Structure 1
């Protein structure tokens, strides 16, 4: 057995010690190993450590929670299937996120980031996590608590919701659990460029289902999105591209009534049309395509609405790296 395997094996054995000090020290060392040496991540997983680490998420010690959550995040970067197949992992993450106001802030951040990490590359996991309503609700509640949540936690919660919403059947659940008012409140009241970019990326995803029409109407969502296209708001090009994606998804999924609503708002707010034209002229290649498709659906009466928009996979707003 090579030294790394021996070290990991020894530390994992200590996780079952009756001494809290020994368990805490072992978990701290596993955290550092998994952070600094990617080769140890599958070793930690294969050694049977995951259930012990997941159980520690319920600890009353913030330090233990933080070490456990960070270790799971580190391992998830390289090893995903064992974490998803260990039921205690999602349950423990749900516990941390649901108690975000009393748990270690670092543990909450790491737990949200772990959700994003698990879903970033494996599509089949998205339906599983999306069915865990406790996780989805907790992530939405973190957004509602933006005044008391660290910016990094807000961003990781947005990334997790983005990844969950990439699976089309999860979008209605995300909406039903209150994400739309939380997202738009964040966009209107927070104002930080990175937060607005991430929030509008999630908005673009949840717009891709029929349930979004009523949810957006209740918060004047179309008007808020149109305002972001106004050059006076100083929204970044990325945020504008997200807005275009959101409006495009709305008109694709929600019928002619919403097409008329969007068209009416954009006609009234000329600066918003200028913003769409700006994306069509100066955005990324996908941004340009989406802006052109949106304008065609709204204003080209000869256009074929069923074919003039991008496919659902293209409305993912590129990739998780872009959040």
Structure 2
């Protein structure tokens, strides 16, 4: 029953504040499992005040603690976006996990990036998340770093895509070097499966006035035209993204961009 679930949640949350590290970790592991397997308990856990504790736990240095905290926030975000976004410090905690991605366990970084994506699925939150420059910078940096695991890059790309759906966020992303980093990923193409996600973000950024200069600097038009070429063996999704990017560039860059495309 819901009463049993409420009692369980209360008991586990009280242990999150325990002086015993073992008790805290055990409670966190249990909360992660419950929030994964039981959608009904998610709002109960949020209502009982677990979110600030879990967010604070992202600052702990132990890999197991970080990973469980990030995964629990991800699970809660599926059903309780409002509760997460209205809790002070949640975005800062996610930013911390993402910003120190080279030091933190990859699973914690991936869950933090996936949580950001989950939050921006709701268009009402895209502006607030996008106003956190440190989150955007960290996501771009994960993609930029050649040591980042593929899964971390994929989760960062998805988060950036969700953020880029809000037009006002695109200028900030361009300013933080997203265009260069995304084209770098596409051109290297060593990371199979990531090109589709990268071109999806590129297509969104192509509609930002600020991106025209950067696209020119990285020969963006040529890269996108090449992706459409049947000889490159691009997937249908990559081709669709490339076409969408070129159309956005022409729409916002006018005849100057159209001329560049014709020359290519």
Under TM normalisation by the shorter chain, which class is it?
Answer: over 0.9
5 Å matches for 1:165-204? 165-204=164-203
Shift of 1:193: 4.2
Pairing 1:246-261 to 2, within 5 Å after superposition: 246-261=245-260
Partner of 1:217: 216
SS at match of 2:103: coil
- 1:159–1:198 contact (8 Å) kept in structure 2: yes
Q: Which residue of 1 aligns with 2:5?
A: 4
- 1:49 lines up with 2:56 in the alignment: no
How far has the Cα of 1:190 moved from its partner? Answer: 3.0
Unaligned segments of structure 2, at least 5 residues? none
Structure 1: where are the runs of 5+ without partners?
266-323
Distance (Å, rounded) in 1 between the aligned partners of 2:249 and 2:192: 23
Q: Secondary structure at the match of 2:193?
A: helix
Cα distance between partner residues in 2 of 1:13 and 1:232:
61
> 8 Å contact 1:8–1:43 — kept in the other structure?
yes
Give CA-to-partner distance per residue, 1:92-127, whole Å, 9 cap, x none: 00001100000111010000000110111x212111
Contact 1:65–1:107 (CA under 8 A) maintained in structure 2: yes
Partner of 2:179, secondary structure, is helix
SS of 1:255's partner is helix
Q: What pairs with 1:48-197 in structure 2 (closer than 5 Å)?
A: 48-120=49-121, 122-145=122-145, 147-197=146-196
Partner SS for 2:199: helix
Q: Paired residue for 2:244?
A: 245
The superposition leaves residues 224-256 of structure 1 with CA deviations (integer Å, 9 ceiling, x where unpaired) of 111111122110001000000000110111222
Q: Determine the structure 1 residue equivalent to 2:38.
A: 37
Shift of residue 4, structure 1, vs aligned partner: 1.4
CA distance in 2 between counterparts of 1:66 and 1:219 reads 36
Contact in 2 for aligned 1:193/1:235 (Cα 8 Å)? no
CA distance in 2, matches of 1:67, 1:255: 49
User: 1:193 and 1:217 mapped to 2: Cα distance?
Assistant: 25
Moved over 4 A (4+): none
Q: Distance in 1 between matches of 2:203 and 2:192?
A: 16
- TM-score normalised per structure 2: 0.97
- Verify: 1:19 aligned to 2:20, yes or no: yes
- Distance in 2, matches of 1:209 and 1:228, equals 21
> How many residues are paired up?
263
TM-score normalised by length of structure 1:
0.80
Mapped contact 1:212–1:254 kept (Cα < 8 A): no
Return the alpha-carbon distance in structure 1 between the equivalents of residues 63 and 15 of structure 2: 19
Q: The residue matched to 1:100 in structure 2 has which SS?
A: coil
Contact between 2:67 and 2:105, CA under 8 Å: does it hold in 1? yes
